[in-house]
């Protein structure tokens, strides 16, 4: 952590150069009249102004350099404009086109060149603050599950991890403030340690992204950004409240932020407390045995979260630099039997639906992240530095015959520390040519304890460098392409389990995994094209070759993973997997209509997956205190992925909004001739909203909506994987903004599974026990400004 502070102090010592004036005007494309109140932002400086009544805007005291300006206003398509240093002496004119489509009112900010949606060649979903406020699901990842191509692997209601186009675990990268989130991603029972109240903006990149973000980005990337810091001096505070009826969840998040001259800050503290959740069933069938569910509540599924974050930094004419310290703490109970304990499930109610008993997970994730955007000459250097410590404990009773030393309740203790460096230098060569040079590095140390053994101690290091270019030589067409090279090392300690006799004397050792010290080197390459002959049509094509280095668990795991009801066995000889991937996106947009079709296909050699074997744990070593559990071993074979997403949005009138999205994923193991495990079934999500704008002093607007989700049967399953019947669920929403004193309060009401349907989620861990999903659930979310003492912009 000390070196992060030192680097920040060095960067902050850089002082400003000569300054100039940047000015322009925003007009309506049809009427040619100026538009007042347009939000104009300089991306690199994180500064914003509003246009005056005639549509004019300006900044004084801006250094001559290359900038990306964002223009957004409700009812118009958002526009991004690249401004070169030589344009400071001109009056910039920007034209906005009217639209009633919500999807056109947001901007892509994390692509290499900060250009607009039409220039970006990858498929991307962009979620703003309003979307996140309306879709609080109990976890951050749960808020994304109705996006086309995005699913979640769930453990109850508090633990979830993302799935993008059928890929998950280490094949999906989550970047929080520019730093890759590092926990124990290999475990299906390990959730994502992100405070769901913290993000202000989310970008979901679907498809191969290894070139920009690292070798793990074969499935996609989720980029998380904090809320924007106010542009004007002052201070404001907000309070968010959340209640869910099904498990009586109570959530709060209090934030204070402000700006004083160049100094900016933000502090947030969030809590969640919830009880055992209700399912519309009074029994479940596991392995042919009917087990009771008392009073329709799953015992020991309660949980608790305590999260905080603190950011401080400066915003100057040379850029900005911030330092963020945060901690995520979660305690979640697990339904008895979900950890695979043989025998009785101890399902009798204990009289307390909010206690967190054994078995349970305890997770603490501490992060220090430094983000700096620095003007060098006329171009920009972005530097992200991060330190993370992920501490995960699994608390449970020992299994029958298990040898226990140390804490008799500490099954697993996983301690992972990660240091990360990301640096990107953006060169704006001229109006139609930009270049990015980047370097990424990471170092990890993992240490384990507990009476169970899954993975050993290990150290991991990786470094990569890439070159990426964007060209717009031809009108209506943008080309992107790049090359990346990577090196990685996996240094894994051997683990030898002592075998003792009746008198506890060590008679020999059983090697659970050998020592591994392997180096991996490889390349990634991609080329993309975006063709936009008119404002209505856009075609994007992205083709690339990427790879993934075997993770430490794939190389060395050897133990009963009780959360998955199987013994998992690694292979120290695994090679890197190579993927050849293509992604096509066709979109047609009018002022009130949007249709996007996105087919994709991928071919992988040496694809790593868990394969069932005829062995059982007891056959590995009869004296190693293993239960009789089937062995699943990591293997490599060629595989094929394909599918498509179709999204339609239509406004027959301005107040009425209809959106529907369909997704389908197909994959195939070319060795076993079977589908790959945990493949999401085809689904269709549809939503209809109507909005009244009152414009009164008391109530601003009222929006009501009805949504439905159809999920098809999933009969394409891997060997020993259960098929899952399809289902239909209905939901409803209501949102309004009203004034409370001088502050505007936002209220969101929602209902899920309105018909109280009994159904199973194919990607849920509790599917292994044939446990249904939550029953009817009503949610209330309030966003309350506590104070706002800001000077006018």
The predicted-structure confidence for 300-329, as pLDDT tens digits, reads as follows 999 999 999 999 999 888 889 999 999 999
Helix (H) or strand (E) run with residue 651 in it: none
Give the strand order in the sheet containing 20-28. 56-62, 20-28, 91-96
Predicted pLDDT of residue 12 = 47
Higher pLDDT, 681 or 740: 681
DSSP of 175-210: EETTEE--S-TT-TT------TTS-SEEEEEES--H
pLDDT-derived band of residue 198, with 50, 70 and 90 as boundaries?
very high
- Rounded CA-CA distance 60/163 in Å is 46
Residue 519, exposed/middle/buried by CB under 10 A (0-12, 13-18, 19+)? exposed
Q: Which tops the pLDDT comparison, 729 or 737?
A: 729
What is the mean predicted confidence (pLDDT) over 407-418?
A: 91
Grade residue 263 by pLDDT with cuts at 50, 70 and 90: very high
Reported as a single tens digit per residue, the pLDDT across 431-440 is 688 899 999 9
CATH no. for 123-343+407-573+580-596+611-790: 2.40.170.20
- The pLDDT of residue 649 is above 80: yes
409 burial level (CB within 10 Å; 0-12, 13-18, 19+):
middle
Mean pLDDT along residues 361-372: 96
Mean pLDDT of the chain: 86
Portion of the chain with pLDDT greater than 70, in percent: 90
For tokens 């009746």, the residue is: 502
Stretch(es) of the chain classified as CATH 2.40.170.20: 123-343+407-573+580-596+611-790
pLDDT, residue 117, reads 62
Give alpha helix (H) positions in 359-433: none
Kindly report the pTM of this predicted structure: 0.90
pLDDT above 80: residue 624 = no
Query: Domain 2-98, CATH 2.60.40.1120 — does that match?
Result: yes
CATH 2.60.40.1120, the chain: domain bounds: 2-98
452: three-class secondary structure by DSSP: coil
Is residue 267 a contact partner of residue 256, using CB atoms and an 8 Å limit? yes
pLDDT greater than 60 at residue 345 = no
CB 349 within 8 A of CB 292: no
Backbone φ, ψ for residue 105 (5° rounding): -100, 10
Name residue, tokens 């801006």: 62
Q: Which two tokens stand for residue 574?
A: 């695994």
Q: Read out DSSP for 243-295?
A: EETTTTEEEEEEEEEEEETTEEEEEEEEEEEE-PPB-S-SEEEETTEEEE-GG
Between 96-110, 176-190, 231-245, the lowest mean confidence (pLDDT) is in: 96-110
Length of the chain: 793
Contact at 8 Å (CB) between 75 and 654?
no
- From start to end of 4-55, where are the E strands? 20-28, 39-42, 47-50
pLDDT at 16 over 50: no
pLDDT digit string, tens, across residues 83-142? 887 778 788 899 998 887 764 444 455 554 445 566 677 778 888 888 888 887 778 888
């Amino acid at each position: 952590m000390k070196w992060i502070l030192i680097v920040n102090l060095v960067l902050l010592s850089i002082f400003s150069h000569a300054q100039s004036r940047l000015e322009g005007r925003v007009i309506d494309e049809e009427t040619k009249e100026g538009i007042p109140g347009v939000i104009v932002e300089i991306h690199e400086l994180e500064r914003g102004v509003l246009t005056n009544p005639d549509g004019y805007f300006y900044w004084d005291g801006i250094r001559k350099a290359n900038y990306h300006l964002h223009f957004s206003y409700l009812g118009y398509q958002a526009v991004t404009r690249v401004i070169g240093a030589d344009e400071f002496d001109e009056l910039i004119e920007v034209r906005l086109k009217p639209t009633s489509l919500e999807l056109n009112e947001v901007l892509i900010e994390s692509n290499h060149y900060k250009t607009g949606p039409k220039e970006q060649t990858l498929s991307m979903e962009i979620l703003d603050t309003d979307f996140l406020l309306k879709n609080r699901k109990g976890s951050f990842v749960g808020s994304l599950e109705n996006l086309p191509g995005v699913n979640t692997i769930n453990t109850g209601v508090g633990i979830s991890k993302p799935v993008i186009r059928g890929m998950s675990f280490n094949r999906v990268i989550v970047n929080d403030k520019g730093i890759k989130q590092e926990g124990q991603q290999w475990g299906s029972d390990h959730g994502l340690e992100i405070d769901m109240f913290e993000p202000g903006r989310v970008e979901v990149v679907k498809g191969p992204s290894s070139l920009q973000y690292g070798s793990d980005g074969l499935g996609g990337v989720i980029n998380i950004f904090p809320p924007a810091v106010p542009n004007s001096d002052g201070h404001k505070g907000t309070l968010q409240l959340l209640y869910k009826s099904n498990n009586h969840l109570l959530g709060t998040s209090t934030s204070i932020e402000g700006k004083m001259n160049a100094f900016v800050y933000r502090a947030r503290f969030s809590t969640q407390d919830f009880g055992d959740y209700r399912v519309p069933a009074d029994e479940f069938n596991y392995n042919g045995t009917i087990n009771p569910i008392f009073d329709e509540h799953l015992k020991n599924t309660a949980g608790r979260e305590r999260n905080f974050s603190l950011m401080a930094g400066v915003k100057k004419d040379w850029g900005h630099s911030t330092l963020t310290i945060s901690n995520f703490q979660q305690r979640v109970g697990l339904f008895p039997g979900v950890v695979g304990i043989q025998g009785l499930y101890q399902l009798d109610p204990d009289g307390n639906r909010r206690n967190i008993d054994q078995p349970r997970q305890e997770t603490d994730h501490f992060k220090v992240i430094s983000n700096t955007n620095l003007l060098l000459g006329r171009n920009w250097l972005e530097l992200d530095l991060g330190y993370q410590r992920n501490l995960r404990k699994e608390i449970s009773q020992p299994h029958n015959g298990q040898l226990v030393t140390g804490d008799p309740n500490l099954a697993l203790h996983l301690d992972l520390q990660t240091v990360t460096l990301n640096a990107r230098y953006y060169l704006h060569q001229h109006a139609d040519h930009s270049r990015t040079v980047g370097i990424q590095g990471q170092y990890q140390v993992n240490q384990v304890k507990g009476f169970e053994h899954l993975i050993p101690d290990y150290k991991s290091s990786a470094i990569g460098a890439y070159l990426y270019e964007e060209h717009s030589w031809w009108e209506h067409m943008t080309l992107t392409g790049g090359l990346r090279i990577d090196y990685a090392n996996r240094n894994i300690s051997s683990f030898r389990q002592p075998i003792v006799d009746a008198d506890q004397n060590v008679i020999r050792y059983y090697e659970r995994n050998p020592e591994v010290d392997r180096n991996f080197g490889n390349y990634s390459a991609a080329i993309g094209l975006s063709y936009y002959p008119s404002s209505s049509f856009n075609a994007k094509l992205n083709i690339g070759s990427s790879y993934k280095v075997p993770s430490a668990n794939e190389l060395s795991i050897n133990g009963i993973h009780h959360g998955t009801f199987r013994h998992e066995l690694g292979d120290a000889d695994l090679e890197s997997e190579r993927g050849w991937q293509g992604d096509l996106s066709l979109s047609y947009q009018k002022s009130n209509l949007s249709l996007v079709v996105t087919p994709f296909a991928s071919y992988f050699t040496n694809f790593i997956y868990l394969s069932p074997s005829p062995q059982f744990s007891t056959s590995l070593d009869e004296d190693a205190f293993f239960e009789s559990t089937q062995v699943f071993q990591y293997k490599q074979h060629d595989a094929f992925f394909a599918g498509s997403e179709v999204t339609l949005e239509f406004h027959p009138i301005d107040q009425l909004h209809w959106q529907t999205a369909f997704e389908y994923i197909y994959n195939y193991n070319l060795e076993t001739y079977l589908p790959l495990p945990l493949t999401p079934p085809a689904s269709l999500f549809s939503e209809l909203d109507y909005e009244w704008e009152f414009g009164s002093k008391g109530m601003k607007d009222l929006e009501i909506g009805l949504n439905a989700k159809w999920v098809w049967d999933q009969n394409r399953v891997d060997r020993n994987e259960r098929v899952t019947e399809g289902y239909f669920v209905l939901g409803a929403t209501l949102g309004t903004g009203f004034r409370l004193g001088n502050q505007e309060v936002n209220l969101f009401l929602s209902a899920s599974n309105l018909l109280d349907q009994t159904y199973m989620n194919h990607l849920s861990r509790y599917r292994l026990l044939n446990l249904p999903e939550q029953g009817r659930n009503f949610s209330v979310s309030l966003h309350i400004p506590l104070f706002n003492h800001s000077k006018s912009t």
